[in-house]
Amino acid sequence: MKSQLEQLRTHSAVVADTGDIEAIARFMPMDATTNPSLLLKAAALPAYAPQLAASAAAAGGDDPVGDACDRLAVAIGSEIVKLIPGRVSTEVDARLSFDTEATVAKARRLVRLYADAGIGSDRLLIKIAATWEGIRAAEQLQREGIHCNLTLLFSFAQAVACAEAGVYLVSPFVGRILDWHLANGMAPPATPQDDPGVQSVTRIWQYYKQHGYDTVVMGASFRNTGQVLALAGCDRLTISPELLAELERSDAPVARALDDEGNRLVPPAALDEAGFRARHDEDAMAREKLEEGIRKFAADQQQLEALLAAQLG
């Protein structure tokens, strides 16, 4: 009998949500995603000690600590690329989430560093928070041939704006949406299909398919395997090593949950900035979780900087 993980791969592309190269080698995902929190964890692993030291040694310029952080992100991503057939997602500093020009500049720098390491843009996704400014940066980068992964996506308005901007991939969150609803008085969902995070990703996936958008939907931020399996059939699912292991241990049947029936609709008029902000801001969950996510990633980025500053002496 095939494991649930093997069965899931027949419905969705499996992506590893980790920077741990041992876990990536074990589960053999198509792609891998990283973020400042995962890079901070990876930097503490003995396997990455050489990359940590080398990144600090090579750092220079007006901001050697920031340079060292960029180099470490690329060094870790370069190791991951050796183990996967697809792309690695590397995130732009979350503190730039409301600055389009700075986000574009940082993305270009990461791509240059990868190129210096012999890795082309066809193996990369630049990960950007799905603010209005971040979406505009991604739109510009996509025109330059730099594919983007729009993250911290909680509202339907964010999803619509990303598709209209032609971004390569979006990562709508599941677990953090459920976290918010539970913290605000919702009873635990009776089934995974009743989970508000699962429902959010399902709505986005169906909308993209119905309106013919090419943007890839990758469900993210899972709290349990029930959420994962309730989205079997989603384009991609990025899953932590702990949940990948749980799926590997079970051989219970996995049915396809999302199915494109082929119905196509004409897309509505594009969202402008005012419409985007109004629709996003009326969703209290999305507004709060986006702001919280940016703060957390920024805090982890600062911790990573402190780690590298100590290396620089």
Residues 6+ apart with CB under 8 A from 176: 154, 197, 221, 289, 293
Tallying the residues shown for the chain, one arrives at 313
Helices (H), the chain: 4-9, 21-27, 36-43, 49-58, 64-81, 100-116, 132-143, 156-164, 175-183, 196-210, 225-229, 241-249, 273-281, 284-312
Q: Which of 127, 209, 289, 296 is catalytic?
A: 127
Rounded to whole angstroms, the Cα distance separating 137 from 260 reads 30
Number of Cβ within a 10 Å radius of residue 174: 27
Assess whether 127 carries a catalytic annotation: yes
Three-state secondary-structure class, residue 84? coil
- Residues identified as active-site: 127
